Amino acid sequence: AAAEKGAFKHFMLKEIFEQPEVMKRALEGRISQGHLLEQAWGVGASAYFDQVKQVQIVACGTSYHAGMIARYWIESIVGIPCNVEVASEFRYRDVVLPQNTLLITLSQSGETADTLAALREVKQRVLASLAICNVPGSSLVRESDLALMTNAGPEIGVASTKAFTSQLVALLMTTLILARRTGLKPEQEAQIVEALIGLPTLIQSLLSLNDSIAKMAEAFAEKHHALFLGRGTLYPVAMEGALKLKEISYIHAEAYPAGELKHGPLALVDKDMPVVAVAPNNDMLDKLKSNLQEVRARGGELFVFTGCEQSIRDEEGVTTLTLPAVHPLLEPLAYTLPLQLLSYHVAVLKGTDVDQPRNLAKSVTVE
């Protein structure tokens, strides 16, 4: 197995650096002349998609965070209701599923016990089930009406990285396919598809932040807690960043939607609690900036991934890292990369078992 890591010290780092290639594979065979090929979703997919009135997403762990991001996309671009829930709750609850619900299960492995059980529980009550999955022939794929493979390739590191970003690509493509039915114009689709085609290059350029992030990680290695903040689609990105950090560095990390800061977490902020913010240059930036000022006023040390050098500057207690400007729909993909690298480098500094964190399994196949 050591050989398969190639020049990389850990599978996780190898898998992070594979992401430009993974983005390419996630798009392969799904695009022709600037438009998505609907047949890639499976036989009969088009007829199902014509009837969808609402979407229910079910997943666990990192896959759940991908689902949370998709909810923002589906409600804003398709304009139909979308619910997202962790499978372990969904499967045991009396769930109300309106007519013509499309069930989307998200899973790297396709074998997560709760996600599989959730599918079996409601299969007969939904219009169709779509599995977005990385393992062909897995139980989830076999038992769903439709499947879209993420094609990320085998993921060895227990902490999911490339599987997550490839799920986001699959979810964004699925969003566009549904939005065709609710008014997305071919030229609008073509414009977003063009942004997707630029993903491998974008991700490649983000990887060059690796050294700066490794340096930033030094500020976390001795800390016991960290807080991650974001708004909109960047809120689930913050959740995923916090999950990565706790999984592999064992630092207690929590994510909050930045607007909730005053409703509790601000009480915890002091110099020993680093606060990470994902702050692209979008229409929520001003709101987020005032949240960050509240953190600074309490002596919290800020680490901000920003899309605009001018708007948030390095100063005492504020370390910024500027990302290139990206299409708004690609922000969650772009801002995930530096958070993956941050948790990786913190774990390496702490000397933990990066690829095999204690007490965790790659795939939770028993409840």
364 binds ligand G6P (CB under 6 A): yes
Q: Pick the catalytic residue from 5, 123, 350, 362.
A: 362
Strand-pairing partners, residue 277, are 229, 304
Closest distance of CB 163 from ligand G6P, Å:
7
Least distance to ligand G6P, CB of residue 280, Å: 24
Among residues 54, 62, 88, 322, the one that binds ligand G6P under rule CB under 6 A:
62
Distances (CA, A) of 304 to 94, 217, 280, 290, 324: 41, 13, 10, 13, 14
Per rule CB under 6 A, is residue 60 in the interface with ligand G6P? yes
- In which residue are the tokens 């007490």 written? 359
Q: CB of residue 66 vs ligand G6P: minimum separation in angstroms? A: 9
Strand duo 128-133 + 252-257: pairing: unpaired
155 Cβ contact partners less than 8 Å away, ≥ 6 residues apart: 15, 108, 134, 161, 162, 163, 362
CB closer to ligand G6P out of 62 and 306:
62
Q: For ligand G6P, which is the closer residue by CB, 179 or 341?
A: 341
User: What phi-psi label fits residue 128: left (phi over 0), alpha (psi between -120 and 50 degrees) or beta?
Assistant: beta
Strand partners, 255: 228
* Binding to ligand G6P, residues 109-128 (CB under 6 A): 109, 112, 115
The answer to whether 118 and 90 have CB atoms below 8 angstroms apart is yes
Q: Applying CB under 6 A, does 69 fall inside the site for ligand G6P?
A: no
Choice from 57, 61, 67, 162 touching ligand G6P (CB under 6 A): 61
Rounded CA-CA distance 220/250 in Å is 11
In the stretch 131-160, what mask flags binding to ligand G6P with x, by CB under 6 A? ---------------------------x-x
> Which is nearer to ligand G6P, 160 or 249 (by Cβ)?
160
Per rule CB under 6 A, count of chain residues that contact ligand G6P: 15
- 362 annotated active-site: yes
- Give the H/E segment covering residue 295: helix 285-297
Q: Which residues are designated catalytic?
A: 362
Contacts with ligand G6P, residue ranges (CB under 6 A): 60-63, 107-109, 112, 115, 158, 160, 360, 362-364
